[in-house]
């Protein structure tokens, strides 16, 4: 009952403190947030970002430096929820998984494995373990990213919301357990993805407060960002004009997350004749949300869309393919009464040429009990699955199958994982913290295979569905569609580094600095040319008779207009 008393007292203090201020941080200027869909309906923006998650928030903040941005989040704000922000409540949001309003939404894959997705401003960065570690240099090179710009973008994130943790008693034991199991060398504190044992960064500060990706909105221009909460995007709106092979996005259609799905609202992109932004709708709704929205919008496999009565916009069989989750195996043990408070991971072991990632943490299983998983994931599975629609209701989870361990190669790696995690749990530095084990060590290869089949779990690092190359190009543009991009983990071909959070945070910043910088150079270059050698003509009488009241324009428009001239 000691844990119960501590947490109830902490909850009371936090509820009082949060009721005194609903802003992100006192003294900070924050963007306008509203759950009122009628305030947004009918308005136009340079950019519309669908999903206020790990990548969406830094992306919105960076774009707002020059452009107007609408950020649409299907969940609520994290700033009045102590179960999200306080480290002592780490893991508790994982139990609040009702269908339409909880900060985490549960789903079960067709493989029968329970899983979760974030449904709150900040996305998974608001409910995960907060462990921060960059992607490997090899991952960055394979992605074709500018390494210097990637480094600058990581550093920008780290200067805002990343901290060096103070090791708890349990995490110190995990460190020695990993080293005794042979996961060497010890690399100390490092944000790099290096083989051996290390201490990573954390988004929990020294007062135990979680800093999510939503905090990065403070760095943007508050006059240029509008955050719409509790709104779920139903589908993308397209211009009626356009060729059969290439469509142009006009805006989005959305519903209240807790409302009637037949009552819809719309928001639009500013048109090029009224804005020089070249703006887009950017899907940042995650590995489940982004492919789901494309399917609901009529972009996907023709036969599948026909089954749900969705009008075809673009036959795109690759949407929803390449779904990958990292298989995980855990040693689950009841925690010693002395270490009952929840404890997120701070130490990680990276072994066998970066294939295996090992962590130890303490998770609540009820208000007054915790459990210790020593968990290991396989970083590069060969088995892949797919995502399809379950319903045309955008608030419901799609159907997803990951095909865990379907490839024999993955099964062999799972057997190695079981053997490694048992070695980590065996040293004296770990054993003193552990109570009764939930399973006995397996011996024979056959027993190990059966154990893997029955006990494979998720590490919550699933990705794919809008894979880079087959669905989006190097600038994250969806093939065959103008003014539509996807910037999130659905584009990943593998999970980066120890976990994807750091790289998704970086990607939100990196995307605009990479793509937006090109746009700014073109725009500024055009303005320079126009300022030096471009003039508005004085119409002669005959030209006045022809124009019939049309206006001067620099743009290529249908109809009659006045062109510029290089004659002064």
Phi, psi at 204, each rounded to 5°: -90, 125
- Residue 461: active-site member: yes
Query: How far is residue 370's CA from residue 335's CA, in Å, rounded to a whole number?
Result: 6
Which of helix, strand or coil describes residue 548?
A: coil
Is residue 245 exposed (0-12), middle (13-18) or buried (19+ Cβ within 10 Å)? exposed
DSSP 406-418: -SHHHHHHHHHHH
For residue 195, give both structure tokens: 């083989």
Catalogue the E-assigned strands of 270-317.
Answer: 281-283, 299-300, 314-315
Is residue 198 exposed (0-12), middle (13-18) or buried (19+ Cβ within 10 Å)? buried
- Looking at the DSSP bridge assignments, the partners of residue 315 are 300
Catalytic entry in 461, 479, 512, 556: 461
For residue 558, give both structure tokens: 């249908």
- Looking at the DSSP bridge assignments, the partners of residue 255 are 232
Assign residue 210 a region (left: φ > 0; alpha: ψ between -120 and 50; beta: otherwise).
Answer: beta
With residues binned 3-state (H G I as helix, E B as strand, rest as coil), the percentages for the chain, rounded to 5, are: 30, 25, 45
Query: How far is residue 395's CA from residue 259's CA, in Å, rounded to a whole number?
Result: 10
Three-state secondary structure readout of 260-283: CCCCCEEEEECCCCCCCCCCCEEE
Which positions are annotated as active-site residues? 461
């Amino acid at each position: 009952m000691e844990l119960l008393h501590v947490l109830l007292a902490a909850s009371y203090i936090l509820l009082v403190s949060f009721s005194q201020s609903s802003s992100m941080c006192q003294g900070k200027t924050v963007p306008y947030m509203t759950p009122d869909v009628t305030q947004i309906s009918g308005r136009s923006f340079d950019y519309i970002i669908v999903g206020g998650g790990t990548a969406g928030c830094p992306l919105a903040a960076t774009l707002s430096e020059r452009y107007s941005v609408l950020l649409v989040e299907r969940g609520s704000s994290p700033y009045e929820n102590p179960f999200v922000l306080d480290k002592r409540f780490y893991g508790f949001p994982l139990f609040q998984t009702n269908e339409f309003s909880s900060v985490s939404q549960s789903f079960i894959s067709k493989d029968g494995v329970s899983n979760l997705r974030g449904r709150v401003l900040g996305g998974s960065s608001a409910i995960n373990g907060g462990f921060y570690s960059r992607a490997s240099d090899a991952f960055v090179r394979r992605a074709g990213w500018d390494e210097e710009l990637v480094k600058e973008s990581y550093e920008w994130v780290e200067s805002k919301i990343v901290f060096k943790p103070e090791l708890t008693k349990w995490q110190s034991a995990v460190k020695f357990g990993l080293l005794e199991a042979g996961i060497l060398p010890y690399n100390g504190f490092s944000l790099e993805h290096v083989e051996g044992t290390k201490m990573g960064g954390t988004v929990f500060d020294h007062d135990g407060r979680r800093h999510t990706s939503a905090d990065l909105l403070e760095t943007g221009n508050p006059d240029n960002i509008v955050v719409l909460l509790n709104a779920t995007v139903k589908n993308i709106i397209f211009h009626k004009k356009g060729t059969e092979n290439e469509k142009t996005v006009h805006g989005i259609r959305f519903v209240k997350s807790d409302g009637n799905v037949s009552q819809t609202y719309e928001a639009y992109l500013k048109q090029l004749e009224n804005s020089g932004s070249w703006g887009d709708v950017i899907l940042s709704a995650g590995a489940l949300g982004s492919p789901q929205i494309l399917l609901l919008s009529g972009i996907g496999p023709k036969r599948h869309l026909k089954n749900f009565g969705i009008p075809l916009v673009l036959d795109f069989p690759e949407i929803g393919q390449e779904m990958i989750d990292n298989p995980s195996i855990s040693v689950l043990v009841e925690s010693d009464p002395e270490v009952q408070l929840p404890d997120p991971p701070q130490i990680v072991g990276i072994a066998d040429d970066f294939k295996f990632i090992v962590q130890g943490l303490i998770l609540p299983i009820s208000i007054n009990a915790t459990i210790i998983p020593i968990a290991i994931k396989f970083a590069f599975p060969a088995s892949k699955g797919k995502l399809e629609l379950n319903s045309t209701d955008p608030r419901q989870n799609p159907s997803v199958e990951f095909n865990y361990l379907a490839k024999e190669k993955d099964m062999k790696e799972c057997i190695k994982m079981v053997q490694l995690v048992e070695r980590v749990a065996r040293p004296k530095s770990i054993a003193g913290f552990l109570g009764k084990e939930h399973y006995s060590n397996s011996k024979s290869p056959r027993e190990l295979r059966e154990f893997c089949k029955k006990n494979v779990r998720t590490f919550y690092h699933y990705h794919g569905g809008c894979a880079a190359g087959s669905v989006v190009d190097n600038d994250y543009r969806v093939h065959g569609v103008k003014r539509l991009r996807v910037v999130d983990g659905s584009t990943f071909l593998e999970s980066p580094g120890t976990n994807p959070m750091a790289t998704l945070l970086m990607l939100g910043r990196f995307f605009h600095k990479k793509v937006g910088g090109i746009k700014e150079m073109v725009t500024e270059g055009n303005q320079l040319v126009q300022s030096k050698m471009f003039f508005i003509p004085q119409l002669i009488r005959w030209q006045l008779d022809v124009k019939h009241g049309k206006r001067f324009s620099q743009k290529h428009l249908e109809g009659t207009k006045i062109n510029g001239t290089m004659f002064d």
